[in-house]
Amino acid sequence: MTPVETWRLPPRGVLFAAVVLLVVAEIGGGSMARFKVELARWARGGMLAHPAAHGLVGVRDIDEPALDEALFRFDAGLRLFHMHAEGMALVIIAATTVAATLARSPGPRRALIVLLSVGGVGYPLGYLTWSALIPAYGVERSKAIAESLVWIPFGGATIVALLWLAALTAVRMVRR
Amino acid sequence: MTNRPADGTVSPAVGRPPLAVVLVAVIVIASGELGGAVLSQLRPATTRFATRRIAANPQVHGLTGSAEYDDTIRQRTVFATEAGLSFFHTHAEGTGLVLFFGATLVASLVSSRAWRAALYVLLTAGALFPLGYLVYALAVLQLGRDTGIDLAENWVLTPLGCAAIAGLFGLAVALARRPA
């Protein structure tokens, strides 16, 4: 069987970026399991060095639940990085393949591929940023930083590109 | 997708599914992304909306007027709504990709036109499975936790989930029957 319609590959750099993101996600997952104790120790050390950021008052009964909560969020950030990086790498491959195939004009095609790739690679890094900042800035402040610097711009780029891609696919379908 | 001819197309062995299938895959992935953003940015608004809906339907939620008991019910129901939205986000990202890659395999490897059409229908219906979690999130607010979950499970999640399983099973059978 020879299918009439075939996919066009996205640029090799995009595929490379997606594969690297997959590798980093796998390494992240492995590292979380392998270095769980070391990571928790590092984070706890950072939290104790920044007591004000975590509302620590020097009373064990008050401080320990706060530290446990911050450590839980630190771990959650790493887990979410692992999961989102795996998912977004596949989204990049699928969505840029659709864009490369269905967007006929070079300008929109390039814009779509750039938005999908940059947004897709950047977004999961927000979870790493969040985790990395928690010891020094506390849970909420580091979340706000990750949101404004990473999640909103990169996630926004991905959402805009996917909606654009859906509209483009619908237009192509209607024009047939 | 290992062969890269000079014109940049994928090897002719890798076919493209119909545009309607591609459109559903892209919309499901985009909805998943959007759902994640809504969940994160509008969490307080979502909680307020859920609390208002529970207060508007006190009988279906079994509210008694006892503050402590009602708070527990309210928290459990709001949690179920948020869980539904969260499952929608994660499943939509996954099932959109399953449809994209599954349908590409169907387009590339299934020679019978009827089989291909049947598999496209099943895989596309399966990709809509996450909609069941949106129904779940809203139904628990309107009908009460248990009735809402039953409705979403029986009428949306189970049929669409079965379609996904049947589509993937059919693809596996088609691949197994394909001459080497």
Question: pLDDT tens, B58-76?
Answer: 999 999 888 889 999 999 9
Residue-wise pLDDT for A105-151, tens only, equals 999 999 999 999 999 999 999 999 999 999 999 999 999 999 999 99
- Pick B23's closest partner by Cβ from A8, A147, A166: A166
Which backbone phi and psi does A47 adopt, to 5 degrees?
-70, -40
Cβ distance B30 to A2 less than 8 Å, yes or no, reads no
Is 70 exceeded by the pLDDT of residue A34? yes
Q: Which residue has the tokens 């029986």?
A: B154
Collapsed DSSP state (helix, strand, coil) of residue B2: coil
The two three-digit tokens of residue A94, written as one number: 């699928």
- Pick B22's closest partner by Cβ from A90, A98, A155: A98
Is 90 exceeded by the pLDDT of residue B14? no
State how far residue A53 is from chain B, nearest Cα, in angstroms: 22
Cβ distance A94 to B20 less than 8 Å, yes or no, reads no
Model confidence band, residue B41 (pLDDT cutoffs 50, 70, 90): confident
Cβ distance B27 to A172 less than 8 Å, yes or no, reads no
Which chain B residues touch A2 with a CB distance below 8 Å?
12
pLDDT at B1: 46
Contact B162, B125 (CB under 8 A): no
Mutate to test the interface with B, among A6, A110, A174 (most CBs of B within 10 A): A6
Q: In this complex, is the C-beta atom of A76 within 8 Å of any C-beta atom belonging to chain B?
A: no
The mean pLDDT value of chain A amounts to: 95
Which chain B residues touch A175 with a CB distance below 8 Å?
none
- Pick A159's closest partner by Cβ from B20, B25, B34: B34
Q: Which residues pair with B9 in a beta bridge?
A: A8
Collapsed DSSP state (helix, strand, coil) of residue B15: strand
Cβ distance B97 to A90 less than 8 Å, yes or no, reads yes
Q: In this complex, is the C-beta atom of A167 within 8 Å of any C-beta atom belonging to chain B?
A: no
Half-sphere exposure of B176 (CA within 13 A, CB side): 6
Q: In this complex, is the C-beta atom of B43 within 8 Å of any C-beta atom belonging to chain A?
A: no
Contact B99, B123 (CB under 8 A): yes
Give the rounded distance of the alpha carbon of A21 from its chain centre. Answer: 9
pLDDT at B179: 78
CB atoms within 10 A of CB B143: 17
DSSP code per residue over A157-173: HHHHHHHHHHHHHHHHH
